[in-house]
Amino acid sequence: VNCDDVESSLDLYVDRELEAAAAAEVRAHLGECPACRGRVAERETLGRLVRLAPYYSAPDRLRARVLAGGARTR
């Protein structure tokens, strides 16, 4: 598994939708790749914010912060 593989399955990994074998490979890569670890942490923080703050009631400030953080719409 290389960084490209990890990046392409990052969303699924963070959402725990990756099959067990693939998730294990991603985890193994994360163990030795700080860059991908950072990407996962970023994605998890973002997901948490989105879940905690329903979009219809999210303060504009929060939304701005999320967008500023490089959020990509799915």
Residues near Zn ion, by CB under 5 A: 3, 33, 36
One DSSP character per residue, the chain reads --HHHHHHTHHHHHTT-S-HHHHHHHHHHHHH-HHHHHHHHHHHHHHHHHHHS-TTT--HHHHHHHHHTT----
Q: How far is the CB of 73 from Zn ion (least distance, A)?
A: 24
Closest to Zn ion by CB, 37 or 63: 37
Closest to Zn ion by CB, 18 or 36: 36
Closest to Zn ion by CB, 29 or 63: 29
